[in-house]
Amino acid sequence: MKIKDGYILKKVAGENIVIATGEVRLSFNGIITFNEVGAEVFNRLDGTRTLEQITDEIASMYNAPREVIEADIKKLTEKMKKQGLIEE
């Protein structure tokens, strides 16, 4: 699973904002922002890690229960799929 080409995450005025580039910007309408955990997930969705690996990394970073992180990442990635940000 990875972020589709044409979407990048930038920190603007303290906010994590998804920016569309290239051809994607012609069909992308709106603004997507992420909190710090969401930004960490976005940056790890590069096609080299599984969701299980991402979950383990985030749970370790934030010293949080794995089950909670796993549920949150599942919800987040489903929402990102609906928004067209992720490809399998």
> What are the sequence ranges of the domains in the chain?
2-87
Per-residue pLDDT, 27: 85
SS3 for 49-82 is: CCHHHHHHHHHHHHCCCHHHHHHHHHHHHHHHHH
Q: pLDDT averaged over consecutive 10-residue blocks of the chain (88 residues)? A: 95 95 86 94 96 96 93 95 91
Rounded Cα distance between 39 and 17, Å, is 9
Predicted local distance difference test score (pLDDT) of residue 8: 95
Q: For residue 26, what pLDDT is reported? A: 85
Other CB atoms within 10 Å distance of the CB of residue 39: 18
* pLDDT recorded at residue 28: 85
CATH architecture, domain 2-87: Orthogonal Bundle (1.10)
Nearest-CA neighbor of 85 among 12, 18, 15?
A: 18
Q: What is the pTM of this model?
A: 0.91
Tokens of 13: 């005025």
